[in-house]
Amino acid sequence: MDTPQSASPTLALEEHRAALAGRTLIELFAADADRFSRLSLSWDHWLADWSKQRLTSQAMDALVAYAHERNLPAWISALFSGEKINLSEGRPVLHTALRQQEDTPLLVDGSDVIAPIRAAQARVRTLAAQIRGGLRLGATGRPLRHVVALGIGGSDLGPKLVCDALSPPRSDRGDGADVAFVSNVDPEHLTRALAGLDPATTLFIITSKTFTTSETLANAHAARAWLARALGAGGALAAHFVAITGNDEAARAFGIAGADILPIWDWVGGRYSLWSPVGLPVAIRCGWDAYAELLAGAASVDAHFREAPLEANLPVLLGLVDFWNARLMGYPQRIVAPYAEALKLLPSYLQQLTLESNGKSVLRDGSPVDGPTAPALWGSPGTDGQHAYFQWLHQGTSTAAVEFIVPVRAAHPLGEQQSMLIANALAQAQALMRGKSLDEARAEVARAAKEVPRAAAEALAASRVCPGNRPSTMLLLPELNSRRLGQLIALFEHRTFVEGVLLGINSFDQWGVELGKALAGPILAALKSGVEPADADASTRGLAAHVNALIRPR
Ligand code: F6P
What is the rounded distance in angstroms from the CA atom of residue 445 to the CA atom of residue 453?
11
Residues 347 and 483 both lie in one domain: yes
Per-residue pLDDT for 22 more than 60?
yes
> For 451-478, what is each residue's pLDDT tens digit?
888 889 999 999 999 999 999 999 999 9
Residue identifier of the C-alpha nearest atom 6 of ligand 1: 270
- 544 inside domain: yes
Q: Which of 513, 511, 512, 509 is nearest to 91 (CA)?
A: 509
What is the rounded distance in angstroms from the CA atom of residue 546 to the CA atom of residue 554?
12
Residues 119 and 268 both lie in one domain: yes
C-alpha of residue 162 to centroid of ligand 1, in Å: 18
C-alpha of residue 248 to centroid of ligand 1, in Å: 16
Residues 139 and 270 both lie in one domain: yes
Would the CB of 155 count as within 6 Å of ligand 1? Answer: yes
Per-residue pLDDT for 441 more than 80?
yes
Domain boundary among 266, 291, 316: 291
Would the CB of 270 count as within 6 Å of ligand 1? Answer: yes
- 85 inside domain: no
What is the rounded distance in angstroms from the CA atom of residue 549 to the CA atom of residue 551?
6
Tell me the three state secondary structure of residue 401: strand
Which residues form the catalytic set? 356, 387, 517
Per-residue pLDDT for 4 more than 50?
no
Residues 162 and 211 both lie in one domain: yes
Poorest-pLDDT segment among 119-133, 169-183, 204-218: 169-183
Would the CB of 300 count as within 6 Å of ligand 1? Answer: no
C-alpha of residue 185 to centroid of ligand 1, in Å: 14
Would the CB of 357 count as within 6 Å of ligand 1? Answer: no
C-alpha of residue 340 to centroid of ligand 1, in Å: 28
Residues 229 and 346 both lie in one domain: no
CB burial of 436-446 (b: ≥16 within 10 Å; e: otherwise) equals beeeebbeebe
Closest ligand 1 atom, CA of 157?
8
- Residue 277 domain boundaries: 107-291
Per-residue pLDDT, averaged over 298-306, amounts to: 98
Residue identifier of the C-alpha nearest atom 16 of ligand 1: 208
- 74 inside domain: no
Per the document, the length of the chain is: 554
What is the rounded distance in angstroms from the CA atom of residue 200 to the CA atom of residue 224?
12
Would the CB of 156 count as within 6 Å of ligand 1? Answer: no
Q: What is the CATH number of the domain that holds 33?
A: 3.40.50.10490
Closest ligand 1 atom, CA of 213?
16
Q: How confident is the model at residue 170 (pLDDT cuts 50, 70, 90)?
A: low
Are 223 and 254 within 8 A, CB to CB? no
Q: Which of 245, 182, 181, 242 is nearest to 208 (CA)?
A: 245
Residues 317 and 348 both lie in one domain: yes
Residues 223 and 171 both lie in one domain: yes
Residues 172 and 225 both lie in one domain: yes
- 51 inside domain: yes
Per-residue pLDDT for 32 more than 80?
yes
Would the CB of 153 count as within 6 Å of ligand 1? Answer: yes
- 542 inside domain: yes
Residue identifier of the C-alpha nearest atom 13 of ligand 1: 208
Would the CB of 159 count as within 6 Å of ligand 1? Answer: no
pLDDT at 451: 81
What is the rounded distance in angstroms from the CA atom of residue 55 to the CA atom of residue 60?
7
C-alpha of residue 271 to centroid of ligand 1, in Å: 8
Domain boundary among 259, 291, 323: 291
- 142 inside domain: yes
What is the rounded distance in angstroms from the CA atom of residue 52 to the CA atom of residue 489?
23
- 4 inside domain: no
Helices within 269-331 (DSSP H only): 280-286, 288-307, 314-323
Sheet containing 261-263: give its strands across. Answer: 178-182, 146-150, 202-207, 241-245, 261-263
Q: Which of 487, 200, 181 is nearest to 318 (CA)?
A: 487
C-alpha of residue 510 to centroid of ligand 1, in Å: 9
- 442 inside domain: no
CA distance readout (Å), 512 to 99, 403, 518: 29, 27, 11
pLDDT at 160: 97
C-alpha of residue 472 to centroid of ligand 1, in Å: 31
Would the CB of 208 count as within 6 Å of ligand 1? Answer: yes
Residues 157 and 238 both lie in one domain: yes
Q: What HEC string does 405-455 produce?
A: EEEEECCCCCHHHHHHHHHHHHHHHHHHHHCECHHHHHHHHHHHCCCCCHH
Residue identifier of the C-alpha nearest atom 4 of ligand 1: 270
> For 511-543, what is each residue's pLDDT tens digit?
999 999 999 999 999 999 999 898 899 999 999
Domain count, the chain: 3
Residues 496 and 531 both lie in one domain: no
What is the rounded distance in angstroms from the CA atom of residue 158 to the CA atom of residue 47?
24
Would the CB of 213 count as within 6 Å of ligand 1? Answer: yes
Residues 123 and 260 both lie in one domain: yes
Residues 322 and 179 both lie in one domain: no
Q: Count how many Cα atoms sit within 13 Å of the Cα of residue 12 in the half-sphere of its side chain.
A: 12
